[in-house]
């Protein structure tokens, strides 16, 4: 058991030479990130000015207190005089009260600035998610992206609340302390400064390692969050295939990576207070020794030595705080960089300047030698077909043939590379995306519903729809009967993703949502898959009603569901192999006919392509 605990903390898993090789780029990124965060803070100029004034006041008062204590020793204690001591004590009490008030105010104002800054960051990041192209989400874990809007931004929030004031206050205190120390005794100041080279060497060794380690920690945290989100969403599959132990093992592996990176980041940064305490004791010893000798010879007073011992603590305290806050800042910068990485991602291509808005459309769509590929992989190769107004076009073919890609191009989730796609004779690239999609409705294999009432989920297709229109859409979708049998009818609140009702009922609600949108173009992607026979008949009847008078594009694997389609297009490796009606393709006795016959006999479609 002990060996299992120790194993994750083998330092060789994150080689220092890798850290050193990346140090220059990371430092440059950190500086740029800090600059960008500062730009957000600068938006609250008035409040930030008040914070700066409060910090300056608290720093000045923290220096004034020890100075007056030293004066009290020299003027009253050493001389055995009491006249004026009471006034000095009252002044000291006033100084400490004002110091406390200034600290309260600077923290109060800074919390407000931090909250507004984080609110703006989180809002911009969320808005950016909706401006990014679909391909960006296709390539990334959703949980990892969620980690950026939660954990990473919270990390920035905590740092702004704690570190910004501490760093600014420490710098001011450090400058003020050195100035007063030089005024009182340059020699004792020089003695105090002897610890700086030691401190510089120690801090340089520590910080050049902790910065990259904090970045690894944030990356491992995002990966773990993404994996947790994925496994929570896929619990049915995990349990169905009895993969609980494998999932636990993978979670342990990813969790150990996070523990490992966090362990070393915190362990190395934990050296900082130990080093600072050691240097504190060294500074006190030097001041006591040298100051005592100078006092004996009459070069300084006892009060000056007392002031210097207090200032020596104030000198190392801000350095200690700067060291600690620097590590916290590095952790926040690592999180902020991940946020800015998303904000800097290339957004979905903007509509052309001359792009038009369609008030209505007939749904006449033409593909003319359309070619498209993902990066270096060709998916569609000179695909040409025509969908006349009101026609239903079905796409069949093996996995990866290009069926879903065609749907993505129709909706402009992706832009084609060559050829042309026109809607009512207009190139779809010359139509605003929002306008194009407003004339479409989707019924997909995965019936996605929001955590809201049934009424709100149906109305999502058209937000200005009345309650009467919602119920009419549900009746057309054959969903009205089961909705009215629920405890609260249309006001029944669905759990996240519609759990609590059957898969078939979810699909009926998405059909109702498509009905209420009143689209000219309908896209159906395996809308009747994984549904029992009785519910399938209801769904098919609702879909037939929905497709009437609308141009429909259908992706189907079960060929018996598309026999009535006006045109069936068989795709293979991104090219059209056959197209025509079901009857025409059967008469051709080609690949479609073989595929159809094979499904009747229960054979796998993939075998028929051999």
Q: Report d(CA 265, CA 335) in Å as an integer.
A: 14
Domain presence at residue 535:
no
Domain presence at residue 379:
yes
Domain presence at residue 495:
no
Average pLDDT over every residue of 39-52: 87
Residues 367, 285: one domain?
Answer: no
Ranges 69-78, 106-115, 597-606, most confident:
106-115
pLDDT digits (tens, 9 = 90+) for 337-356: 888 888 888 777 777 778 88
Q: Report d(CA 356, CA 426) in Å as an integer.
A: 10
Q: Report d(CA 571, CA 255) in Å as an integer.
A: 44
Which residues 6+ apart lie within 8 Å of 603 measured at CB?
Answer: none
Mean pLDDT, the chain, as a whole number?
79
CATH number of the domain that 142 lies in?
1.20.1560.10
Residue 504: what pLDDT? 83
Residue 557: what pLDDT? 76
Residue 367: what pLDDT? 94
Residues 335, 370: one domain?
Answer: no
Instruction: Show the DSSP H helices in 270-301 as ranges.
Output: 271-296
Q: Which long-range contacts (CB under 8 A, 24 or more apart) does 379-386 make?
A: 379/405, 379/574, 380/405, 380/406, 380/409, 380/416, 380/574, 380/575, 381/573, 381/574, 381/575, 382/419, 382/575, 383/419, 383/571, 383/574, 383/575, 383/576, 384/419, 384/576, 385/567, 385/569, 385/576, 385/579
Residues 283, 407: one domain?
Answer: no
pLDDT digits (tens, 9 = 90+) for 146-184: 878 877 888 888 788 777 787 888 888 888 888 877 887
Average pLDDT over every residue of 238-250: 78
Residues 119, 156: one domain?
Answer: yes
Average pLDDT over every residue of 389-412: 89
Average pLDDT over every residue of 120-142: 82
For residue 17, pLDDT over 50 is answered with no
Where is 198: in which H helix or E strand? helix 195-233
Residues 159, 71: one domain?
Answer: yes
Residues 94, 190: one domain?
Answer: yes
Local structure of 162: helix, strand or coil = helix
Residue 6: what pLDDT? 35
Domain presence at residue 85:
yes
Which residues 6+ apart lie within 8 Å of 271 measured at CB?
Answer: 202, 206
| pLDDT band (50, 70, 90) for residue 23 | very low
Domain presence at residue 451:
no
pLDDT digits (tens, 9 = 90+) for 472-523: 999 988 888 889 988 889 998 887 655 678 888 888 888 888 888 888 999 9
Which residues 6+ apart lie within 8 Å of 539 measured at CB?
Answer: 478, 504, 507, 508, 511, 527, 528, 531
Domain presence at residue 461:
no
Q: Which long-range contacts (CB under 8 A, 24 or more apart) does 139-143 make?
A: 141/223, 141/226, 141/227, 141/229, 141/230, 142/226, 142/229, 142/230, 143/225, 143/226, 143/227, 143/228, 143/229, 143/230
For residue 604, pLDDT over 50 is answered with no
Residue 422: what pLDDT? 93
Q: Report d(CA 195, CA 453) in Å as an integer.
A: 67
Q: Phi-psi bin for 450: left (phi > 0), alpha (psi -120 to 50), beta?
A: beta
Residues 382, 307: one domain?
Answer: no
Average pLDDT over every residue of 258-284: 75
Residue 533: what pLDDT? 67
Residue 80 structure tokens? 């055995």
Instruction: Show the DSSP H helices in 344-423 as ranges.
Output: 403-410
The proportion of the chain whose per-residue pLDDT surpasses 70, expressed as a percent, equals 86
Domain of 236 in residue numbering reads as 38-343
Average pLDDT over every residue of 192-200: 75
| pLDDT band (50, 70, 90) for residue 336 | confident
Residues 366, 219: one domain?
Answer: no
Average pLDDT over every residue of 322-335: 73
Residue 528: what pLDDT? 67
For residue 10, pLDDT over 70 is answered with no
pLDDT digits (tens, 9 = 90+) for 295-319: 777 777 777 777 777 777 766 677 6
Tabulate helix, strand, coil % of the chain (nearest 5): 65, 10, 20
Average pLDDT over every residue of 187-193: 78
Q: Are 551 and 387 in contact (CB under 8 A)?
A: yes
Domain presence at residue 450:
no
Domain presence at residue 339:
yes
CATH number of the domain that 404 lies in?
3.40.50.300
Residue 265: what pLDDT? 75
Predicted structure pTM score:
0.62
Residues 286, 386: one domain?
Answer: no
Residues 263, 377: one domain?
Answer: no
Instruction: Show the DSSP H helices in 356-502 as ranges.
Output: 403-410, 433-438, 454-459, 467-476, 480-484
Residues 88, 188: one domain?
Answer: yes
Residue 11: what pLDDT? 40
| pLDDT band (50, 70, 90) for residue 530 | low
Going from the C-alpha of 532 to that of each of 236, 252, 505, the distances in angstroms are 18, 39, 11
Residues 267, 325: one domain?
Answer: yes
Specify the number of domains making up the chain. 2
Single out the residue in 313, 343, 373 at which a domain terminates. Answer: 343
Single out the residue in 291, 309, 343 at which a domain terminates. Answer: 343
Greater confidence (110 vs 226) lies with 110
pLDDT digits (tens, 9 = 90+) for 197-212: 777 777 777 767 776 7
């Amino acid at each position: 058991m002990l060996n299992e605990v120790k194993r994750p903390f083998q330092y060789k898993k994150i080689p220092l030479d890798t850290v050193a090789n990346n140090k220059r780029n990371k430092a440059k990124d950190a500086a740029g990130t800090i600059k960008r965060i500062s730009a957000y803070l600068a938006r609250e100029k008035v409040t930030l000015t008040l914070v700066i004034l409060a910090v300056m006041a608290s720093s000045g008062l923290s220096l004034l207190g020890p100075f007056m204590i030293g004066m009290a020793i020299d003027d009253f204690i050493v001389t055995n005089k009491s006249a004026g001591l009471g006034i000095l004590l009252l002044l000291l009490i006033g100084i400490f009260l004002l110091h406390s008030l200034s600290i309260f105010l600077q923290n109060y104002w800074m919390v407000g600035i931090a909250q507004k800054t984080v609110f703006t960051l989180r809002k911009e990041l969320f808005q950016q998610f909706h401006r990014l192209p679909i391909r960006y989400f296709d390539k990334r874990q959703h949980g990892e992206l969620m980690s950026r809007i939660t954990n990473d931004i919270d990390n920035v929030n905590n740092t702004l609340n704690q570190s910004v004031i501490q760093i600014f206050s420490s710098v001011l205190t450090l400058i003020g302390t050195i100035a007063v120390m030089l005024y009182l005794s340059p020699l004792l100041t020089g003695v105090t400064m002897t610890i700086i080279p030691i401190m510089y060497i120690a801090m340089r060794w520590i910080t050049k390692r902790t910065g990259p380690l904090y970045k690894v920690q944030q990356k491992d945290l995002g990966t773990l969050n993404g994996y947790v989100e994925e496994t929570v969403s896929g619990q049915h599959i995990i349990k169905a295939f009895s993969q609980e132990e494998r999932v636990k093992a993978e979670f342990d592996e990813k969790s150990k990576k996070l523990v490992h990176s966090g362990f070393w980041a915190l362990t190395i940064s934990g050296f900082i207070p130990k080093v600072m305490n050691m240097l504190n004791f060294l500074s006190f010893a030097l001041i006591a020794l040298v100051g005592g000798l100078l006092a004996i010879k009459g070069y300084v007073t006892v009060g000056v030595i007392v002031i210097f011992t207090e200032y020596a603590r104030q000198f190392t305290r801000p350095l200690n705080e700067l060291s600690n806050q620097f590590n916290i800042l590095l952790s926040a910068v690592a999180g902020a960089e991940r946020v800015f990485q998303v904000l800097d991602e290339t957004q979905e291509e903007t509509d052309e300047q001359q792009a038009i808005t369609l008030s209505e459309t007939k749904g006449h769509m033409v593909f003319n030698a359309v070619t498209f590929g993902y990066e270096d992989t060709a998916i569609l190769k000179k695909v040409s077909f025509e969908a006349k107004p009101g026609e239903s076009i079905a796409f069949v073919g093996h996995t990866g043939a290009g069926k879903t890609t065609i749907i993505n191009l129709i909706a402009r989730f992706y832009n084609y590379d060559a050829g042309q796609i026109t809607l009512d004779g207009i190139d779809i690239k010359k139509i605003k995306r929002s306008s194009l999609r407003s004339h479409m409705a989707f019924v997909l294999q995965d019936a996605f519903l929001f955590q809201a009432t049934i009424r709100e989920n149906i109305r999502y297709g058209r937000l200005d729809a009345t309650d009467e229109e919602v119920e009419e859409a549900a009746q057309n979708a054959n969903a009205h009967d089961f909705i009215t049998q629920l405890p609260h009818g249309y006001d029944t609140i669905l759990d996240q993703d519609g759990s609590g009702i059957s898969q078939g009922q979810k699909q009926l609600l998405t059909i109702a949502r498509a009905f209420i949108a009143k689209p000219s173009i309908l896209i159906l992607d395996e809308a009747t898959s994984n549904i029992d026979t009785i519910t399938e008949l209801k769904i098919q009847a609702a879909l037939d009603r929905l497709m009437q008078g609308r141009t429909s594009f259908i992706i189907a694997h079960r060929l018996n569901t598309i026999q009535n389609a006006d045109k069936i297009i068989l795709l293979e490796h991104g090219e059209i192999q056959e197209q025509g009606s079901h009857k025409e393709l059967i008469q051709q006795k080609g690949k479609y006919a073989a595929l159809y016959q094979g499904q009747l006999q229960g054979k796998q479609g993939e075998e028929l392509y051999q």
